[in-house]
Structure 1
């Protein structure tokens, strides 16, 4: 059986480790820290049970609350698509001059063009349309 090492200055038990004359004391963790650690573990377990938490191959565990942000996201996407459908129909029915005179339609068309450029053209021609090796300058 190993004997306990006691630090002469503090009277506290040491771990037996010593580096360059510095001894490692075997002080216990502060109680508040230990209880915070336990509370964090309990909170994590409760959260994993209440909400979808464990990923599977195609889905995740449902959780007892049945929460899913996918339904909310799909609802937001459907609302955005419905609001854009109205503007798309208006743009399709009007001439370029009529679209230019309507500030809301013009703003929507310009934003759509900027988005289409970023998705389709910017990878080759650059975000500023300055071109690149093998791709012409569009300015």
Structure 2
């Protein structure tokens, strides 16, 4: 640091000794609200790190004291979605293909499933409109 600290006349604040083109840096403390917010953020970060999985390791992350994990939450959401769709899937599996158009509920579920499968597996090469691309035929 610079050794030529002095008191700034207009403000009465000590300078840190830096000067550039006649402009001096004042040694003004941070506002109290900013410091309190900073301290609260540090405390919140420590509490969050203890409660939730936070630090990645070689095999897995720290578990946290609450035992919550995003993988566990995803697994629960997927299980709930599968349970919700199970009756329709069983009905489609038990119905002959030629009879599905006669049942509007099954037809809607089958078309939605086909659209979803197309978006996941086919759109990348054949395009969203099934018009094809260079090296990939139209559908």
The verdict on a shared fold, with TM-score over 0.5 as the criterion, is yes
**What runs of 5+ residues in structure 2 fail to find an aligned partner?**
none
Correspondence for 2:138: 137
State how 1:31-50 maps to structure 2 within 5 Å.
Answer: 31-50=32-51
**In structure 2, distance between residues paired with 1:97 and 1:22:** 85
Q: TM-score, normalised by structure 1?
A: 0.85
Cα displacement (A) at 1:133? 0.6
Number of aligned residue pairs: give it: 138
Cα displacement (A) at 1:104? 1.9
Q: Deviation string for 1:4-33 (max 9, x for gaps)?
A: 222122221111222222211111111221
Q: Which ranges of 4 or more aligned residues in structure 1 deviate by more than 6 Å?
A: none
Q: CA RMSD in A?
A: 2.0
Correspondence for 2:24: 23
Q: TM-score, normalised by structure 2?
A: 0.85
Local SS of the residue matching 2:122: helix
**In structure 2, distance between residues paired with 1:14 and 1:90:** 80
**In structure 2, distance between residues paired with 1:123 and 1:86:** 31
